[in-house]
Structure 1
Amino acid sequence: MIKTRRTTSSNISPEDTSWPFWPIVPLYPYGQRRTLRTEVVKDTIWTFEQCQGILYVVVPIRMTVVRLEKGGLLVYAPVAPTGECISLVNELVGAYGDVKYIILPTVSGIEHKVFVGPFARCFPKAQVFISPDQWSFPLNLPLSWLGFPGERTHKLPLNSQESPFADEFDYEILGPLDLGLGIFQEVAFYHKRSHTLLLTDSIISIPSEPPEIIKIDPYPLLFHAKENGLEIIEDTIQNRIKGWQRIVLFSLYFRPSSLGVVKWGRVFKNAFKAPDRSRKAYFGLFPFQWNEGWESSFKELYLQPLIVAPILQGVIFNRSPLEVLSWVDKVSLWGFERIIPAHFSAPIQTNSSQFREAFDCLRYPKHNLENDDFQLIRDIEKRLTQIGVTPPSKL
């Protein structure tokens, strides 16, 4: 049985959930972040979830903690080290030993990178291992300038057997994939004892209902369940699900085909009449209009056990499909039973065959060319190539 642990509202204060460095990456919920801990494999693996987003398009962001067989903990993809989060980690430290290793498994995911330095300072004995080809934009600054503890930060060896945790973990590095202005890189970790694959962004699975961490504050769900800015939305299970499914379409397609265009004159006119004109409700502004059929777009995503996020399919992985598929083949050899990604559902009970099938979007890309929901991503890809920001697609 999967066990969930979170601090209750009666014993938590704003100081416990404070994240003072939020202006560096100004994502909702800004300076206040709740944390949800879940035991995935008994006495072995735990996930720590927070939420983040833009314009109330809020999705989970996840850190995974694994107990090492010889004592201590390994942390994969840290989240914001709020007081609440560190308290929940320290409960595991008290039971299983110190945090020994902190892993940053990506180079381009600023929403993951920004937490590593502050998290590492909370555990001064931990060694930090990072994906090897780190870069920053607009200036490629030294890691110490980005908050990483210089004396205990190391690049992951290209050969996983040379790492200090090779007896318990294998890993495979995807990339670096050339994106023009920068690169994409992700490190898949395989925990041998539990047959668990840890990923960051490359694979996701979509739940039909909002995750528990999102339900702690349901306002974003209800905001996106509205049909217009004049509607007073009731907090019901059905409206929470409706809001969540629309959030998924926003987050993956940016502008799904079922999202209509609302004239700004009408948007401002309705804003003056909106029942909620508070700053929380963006002063009544609601520039969204959903057309019939949006449920079908969500269902297509939900029915797939594993998917590659559309932005990765259409803008990043299509630059080096053969390299990505080679990485997929190597990862598939591990024979894992579950995947824990950094976003959306987790754990995902799955297998290597389903993992390989998810990347058929690179083997047979015709479906994406015919899917209207991909139109904005196709337009972005075309424009970036035209102005020379990214190299041409190889699909």
Structure 2
Amino acid sequence: MIGMYYVRVPIQMAVVAVHQNDPNKRGLVLFAPVVPTKGCLSLIHDLIDQYGPVRDIILPSVAVEHKVNAGPFARSYPQANFYVTDKQYAFPLNLPNSFLGLPSWTKPLPRSSRDNAHLWGGELEHEVLTVKPGIGSMYQDVALFHKSSGTMLVCDAISAVDGTPPRILTEEKEYTCALIFHARETKDEVVEDTPENRKKGWGRIVLLFNFFFPGSGRGDLELQRIIEALRTPTYKDGWGGWKPFSWGKDEVKDFETFSASGKPIVLPIIQIILSRKPNEM
């Protein structure tokens, strides 16, 4: 459904330098690996030159958008420990990790570092949140705490956005097209690529991704409308110009309320998951 909406959502990886005072242990911990493109690996190699080799890679989620990247990334650094949360699954047919693209040296990440103090050598602590929201599904997220900087990393649970699109969405034409696509007011409108229109498209993408059917948006999902759009391909980007949502007067207010000027929040879908089973498994 997100693909049909022509939504582009950035996925981030964090890199932590550890044990910098010990020449035998110094290196990098990679949290939530992304696609191992040449550009990405080049940046990692620059960090390796400065801080030491990749020691550990952590897949902190069972979500497919993270899992699909983790195996290829781990294979780029086969000498590193590769940890994944222990409830990886596939639906509708559950499959072993090897069928999910994860390499043979994959290790389950312990639920807590409290009973595994040796794991991070005292520099990091972690806890795994595990919830089963329903049949055939599972939710896991890892909170990784870097003691010396006082920084906590999480994968999916926490989000913070403001009115400015992330730089990654403004540097590639494929992504800016999605911003402009959602800035339209009518199906056949050709919107000028301006900072203001990019912000408008970004705000709508945020509401769509987090709420699927936001209160200020009215979905236009009828099959006939989609067929009509495909028959009139006057708009070059996205389903022949199909406009999946129309927006009401509360659109800006809804975005401002949700974004709270960049204040971190627990994502709405995660709030729903936690409310179904608030106690950790």
TM over 0.5: yes
Partner of residue 242 from structure 1, selected from 194, 200, 205: 200
Deviation, structure 1 residue 171: 0.7
Q: Is the 8 A contact 1:133 1:176 kept in 2?
A: no
Kindly tell me the number of residue pairs found equivalent between the two proteins.
269
Q: Is the 8 A contact 1:72 1:97 kept in 2?
A: yes
Q: Is the 8 A contact 1:232 1:275 kept in 2?
A: no
Partner of residue 307 from structure 1, selected from 265, 269, 274: 265
1:120 alignment counterpart? 74
**Which one has the bigger helix percentage?**
1
* Structure 1 residues 296 and 149, CA gap change in structure 2 (3 angstroms): same
Whole-angstrom distance in 2 between the partners of 1:62 and 1:188: 15
Whole-angstrom distance in 2 between the partners of 1:318 and 1:282: 36
The DSSP-based 3-state class of the residue aligned with 2:55 is strand
Partner of residue 288 from structure 1, selected from 231, 245, 256: 245
Deviation, structure 1 residue 145: 2.5
Whole-angstrom distance in 2 between the partners of 1:207 and 1:54: 24
* Structure 1 residues 265 and 149, CA gap change in structure 2 (3 angstroms): closer
* Structure 1 residues 319 and 281, CA gap change in structure 2 (3 angstroms): closer
| Runs (5+) with no aligned partner, structure 1 | 1-25, 28-52, 325-395
Q: Counterparts in 2 of 1:216-365, with a 5 A limit?
A: 216-217=171-172, 218-262=176-220, 275-276=234-235, 278=236, 280-303=237-260, 305-314=263-272, 316-323=273-280
When structure 1 is superposed on structure 2, of 223-232 and 175-184 the one drifting more is 175-184
| Runs (5+) with no aligned partner, structure 2 | none
Letter in 2 for 1:255: F
* Structure 1 residues 54 and 204, CA gap change in structure 2 (3 angstroms): farther
Q: Is the 8 A contact 2:60 2:84 kept in 1?
A: yes
Whole-angstrom distance in 1 between the partners of 2:72 and 2:129: 26
Whole-angstrom distance in 1 between the partners of 2:74 and 2:181: 36
1:65 alignment counterpart? 15
The DSSP-based 3-state class of the residue aligned with 2:125 is strand
Q: Counterparts in 2 of 1:69-108, with a 5 A limit?
A: 69=19, 70=22, 71-107=26-62
Whole-angstrom distance in 1 between the partners of 2:168 and 2:250: 28
2:162 alignment counterpart? 207
CA-atom RMSD in angstroms: 2.3
Moved over 6 A (4+): none
Whole-angstrom distance in 2 between the partners of 1:74 and 1:219: 34
Deviation, structure 1 residue 220: 0.7
Q: What per-residue deviation string (whole Å, max 9, x for no partner) do you get for residues 93-148 of structure 1?
A: 122221110001122x1111111111111111101111122222222222223222
Letter in 2 for 1:156: L
Q: What per-residue deviation string (whole Å, max 9, x for no partner) do you get for residues 316-360 of structure 1?
A: 111122449xxxxxxxxxxxxxxxxxxxxxxxxxxxxxxxxxxxx
Q: TM-score by structure 1 length? A: 0.63
Deviation, structure 1 residue 267: 6.2
The DSSP-based 3-state class of the residue aligned with 2:13 is strand
Q: What per-residue deviation string (whole Å, max 9, x for no partner) do you get for residues 248-304 of structure 1?
A: 11001111122225466566656666642x3x3322222321121111111111116
Deviation, structure 1 residue 213: 0.6
